[in-house]
Chain A
Amino acid sequence: MRGTDLLARAASVAVTLVVVSIFTFLLLRVLPGDPALLILGAESPGDTLAEMRRELGTDRPLLVQYGAWVASVARGELGISIRHKRPVLDLIAERLPVTLSLSVLALLVALAIGLPLGVVAAARRGTVADYGALVFSQLGQAIPSFWLGIMLIFAFALKLRWLPTGGYEPWSDDPAEALRSLAMPSLALGVVLAAQIARMQRSSMLDVMREDFVRTARAKGLPESRVVYWHTLRNALVPTVTVVGLQVGSVLGGAIIVEQIFALPGLGRLVLFAVVNRDWPLIQGLVFFLAALTVVLNLLVDLSYAWLDPRTRRA
């Protein structure tokens, strides 16, 4: 990717972030409901309500509120949680490692299952292996992660007693325990993505196999395995990486529910805590943080194309 392209891409990311900040801000203000009233309850006296509105800043004009919020975000602050009485950013920093570990492991699980399935299905098109991969990808996309999670708990925690039913052990305390506590959650979260990866990898392998350079490779007399694994696989990865990139948001969103099932103290649990306790500054900060994280991760995926497929470097 050339400098000007990079600049244009960065500019569009900046515009998206501004739009995201406006949506995050408006979502909790334009929709009916007075946060102060929701936090304190309908019976609270008028002066307490007024004080809460002043604390939240909701007594000021919308534009002033937005300006103040953007200014604080620019300073690297996301406000103070009402219930925790602590900076939102500190709360996020404490829980981010859990959510990131879960998401990264889920992605690894997805790639470890999805890529080989897609490759084998394409290389042995029309065989039992291909049909099996098709069934897996259809079922994987239909089974909700939270049901899979519950079934995994039933099998591996309650019946076989191999893994804990939930909870989290920090990596710094005991890496082996951390891995054990994240095994079922990352499988539950990763299977949907694995199904999508398998499907995309199969169809893009089949597309690439029709290209001239693959025919040339075959005509040179290269063994079929080298044609499939060396010439086709790498070139077929680009559309799959796009799918992975588009699913960054759904992995982070899915983490919310998977963290709930397995009682993992990550950002998802924090989101739910904030919603249930009507902690407005915390909701706002978390939603903006997660959306911005999604946008930045998508940018990184876009940049990885250039490394995978040199032809896109000048696109």
Chain B
Amino acid sequence: MTVVAQGGRLGRGAVASLVAVALISVIALVGMVYTPHDPAAVEIGKRLKAPTAEHPLGTDQFGRDILSRLMRGASIAMTVAGLSVAISVSVGVAIGALAGYVRGWLDEGAMRAMDGLLAFPALLLAITVVAALGPGHRNAAIAIGIVGIPVFARLTRSVVLVLASREFVTAVEAQGAGPAYVLGRHILPNAMGPVIVQASLAVGRAIVAEASLSYLGLGTQPPLPSWGKMLQEAQGYLSLAPWMAVVPGVAVAVTVLAFNLLGDALRDLLDPRLR
């Protein structure tokens, strides 16, 4: 991609994506402790009001302040995304590293299991896990995290396979270093570049997945606001209050775009396979 200039200096696209990600993170952090109004406060007299000075993004069908719901929704979306990517990365990297370094039946078994997980349409697998665990944003995070495991397992395995045959690894092994030391100290740190790139893209996917589950009523549960639930509610008032559907949709799209562009920029910077 063309987002990064030559020579390691960040291009305009990369800087823009970094600024956007930072801004969204700040909004999410602020949303945890402060919102202009109570995001759950119902005020029927003010329902479906177009944007005003008091409610810059308008109000919804219960007279709740959309800006406040958007901010608290950002906190929840980012928490779920962060938690789910942490699950995908930690479990996926562990499986991939062991499979790629130990090889043999462990590799064979782990990769067949990952193929099996990848065979499920992602959203279907997430829905099924939520069905078994029960709805809610924590269980949604676990479900989205499980869906992402095979991506990181396969990626880590492929990088570890290449690194394990390199001379510096053979040299450490010849000195008598144990497998845990070789893997943890010499192989994994060198494999982190592609994992970080993939993690950034995974945050974008997790944001969409959380919104999808919440739209379907299986993710974040009321009274907690969620971008997906806001869109689902907005659909019923499209002709009366179209801003209700625009605001959370833009929020999802901008957040995903920011993390995708950041992932592209990081790829140019960190992925040795592209050098």
Contact = CB atoms under 8 A, between A and B. Distances in A.
Nearest to A15: B112
B116 interface: yes
A2 B215 CA distance: 47
Contacts, number: 141
Q: How large is the interface on B (under 10, 10 to 19, 20 to 34, 35 or more residues)?
A: 35 or more
A260 B216 contact: yes
A150 B245 contact: yes
B126 to A, nearest CB: 8
B117 interface: yes
Interface stretch (A50-58, A69-77, A136-144, A306-314): A136-144
A251 to B, nearest CB: 8
B128 A27 contact: yes
Contact of B127 (A134, A250, A256): A256
B121 interface: yes
A146 interface: yes
Interface stretch (A84-92, A177-185, A283-291): A283-291
Contact of A23 (B117, B133, B208): B117
Nearest to B251: A147
A153 interface: yes
Contacts of B231: 146-147, 150
A291 B119 contact: yes
Given A142-B260, A252-B124, A256-B124, A261 B253 contact: no
B235 A150 contact: yes
Interface stretch (A28-36, A208-216, A231-239): A28-36
A275 B131 contact: yes
Given A20-B119, A291-B120, 19 more contacts: A16-B115, A19-B116, A27-B128, A33-B134, A141-B260, A142-B256, A143-B252, A146-B212, A153-B238, A154-B242, A249-B120, A249-B121, A256-B123, A256-B124, A256-B216, A275-B127, A275-B131, A290-B124, A291-B119
The 5 A-B pairs at the shortest CB distance, nearest first, are namely A19-B116, A253-B121, A253-B123, A147-B249, A142-B257
27 contacts: A22-B116, A23-B120, A28-B128, A31-B129, A144-B253, A146-B228, A147-B245, A147-B252, A153-B238, A154-B238, A154-B242, A249-B119, A249-B120, A250-B121, A250-B122, A253-B124, A256-B123, A257-B215, A260-B215, A260-B216, A271-B127, A272-B127, A290-B121, A290-B124, A291-B119, A291-B121, A295-B119
Interface of A: 15-16, 19-20, 22-23, 27-28, 31-33, 134, 138-139, 141-144, 146-147, 150-151, 153-154, 158, 249-250, 252-254, 256-257, 260-261, 271-272, 275-276, 278, 283, 287, 290-292, 294-295, 298
Interface of B: 2, 112-113, 115-124, 127-134, 204, 208, 211-212, 215-218, 228, 231, 234-235, 238-239, 242, 245-246, 248-249, 252-254, 256-257, 260-261
